[in-house]
Structure formats: C-alpha cells, structure tokens
Amino acid sequence: MQDYKVWIFQANPSKFNVIGALTDKVIDSWRIENHKNEIKKGDVAIIWASGKYAGIYAIAEITSDPHFMPIPSESERYWIDQDLKKDSTLRVEFKIIKNLIDKPIMRKKLLNIPELIELSILKFAQKTNFPVTKSEWEIIKKLI
C-alpha cells in the first residue's frame, strides 16, 4: 500500500529556468506555497514546467519536511524573477530520481488521457504545489 503522497511542483519559466537547472543537475529544493502541512519527507514530487513547453520534466523524492531555508547558491543563477530570491522561504529538499529533460511528458499528451481529465494542474494551473491522486500517479508512472 502506498504510504506517501505525490505532488506536482510547478515552475513558471518566466520566473525560474527549471529546464536549465535540471539540465545542469543543480536543483535540489523547491518552494512550498500550498499544502505546507501535508507535504512530507518521503513523498514524491513531479517537477513540472509551465508555459509553451508545459509538462513533466523530472520525478523526485522529497528528502525533508518543509522548513525555512535560503535558495541554494548552486541554483541561484536560474532565478529570473529577482523578487522570489528571498533570504529564506519555506522549502523542501529533494533528490531527482528520474530526469526526463531529454524526453518530457508534455501537457498535450496528458490532456489526451481521459483518466487524467481531473489532474489538478490541468484544471487550474495557478499554484506552485498540486496534489496527485493515487490513480493519476499510477497512470503517470506508466508514461515514464
């Protein structure tokens, strides 16, 4: 039985160059703005880039509970929106377990899967952190 939750962590490319950070393998934490009392160490994060090339670019294991920490210096250069480079924000640490940068699962493909019609990010993409149901995760795992 699955005892962890799955989350989508969304990056807006006009604010953070997540594709560059994944390509250079320097991303290891994420800002938590929503579900801060639910996201936990041991959960899974689906790394999503929004915009023209929206889709899933990586899968990560969350390795810490949310806590206040500065943006890691290694990924600082990927921040485009300087206002988001605050001294300390609520974040989780994670390790990439599957980098899909060379073959992302695009939003267009997900939209064509009837079982994913209710996937939170496809319905309302205006947040940073989104829950994924167990059945949605099973379908996404098969696509990976």
What single DSSP character describes residue 79? B
Q: What's the rounded mean pLDDT across residues 120-140?
A: 88
**pLDDT exceeds 70 at position 103:** yes
Quick one: pLDDT at residue 89? 84
Rounded CA separation 48/126 (Å): 13
- Residue 6's contacts (CB-CB under 8 Å, 6 or more residues apart) are 43, 44, 45, 46, 131, 132, 134, 136, 137
Specify the pTM: 0.90
**pLDDT exceeds 70 at position 7:** yes
Cβ atoms of 58 and 64 within 8 Å: the answer is no
Quick one: pLDDT at residue 112? 94
Quick one: pLDDT at residue 49? 94
Rounded CA separation 65/36 (Å): 9
Which amino acid does the sequence have at 80?
I
Quick one: pLDDT at residue 9? 94
CB-count burial class (<10 Å; 0-12, 13-18, 19+) for 144:
exposed
Cβ atoms of 88 and 70 within 8 Å: the answer is yes
Q: Which domains does the chain have, with CATH numbers?
A: 6-143 (3.10.590.10)
Average pLDDT, the chain: 89
Quick one: pLDDT at residue 2? 65
If residue 22 lies in a helix (H) or strand (E), which one and from where to where?
helix 18-23
Rounded CA separation 104/83 (Å): 28
- Per mean pLDDT, which range of 33-37, 111-115, 123-127 is the poorest? 123-127
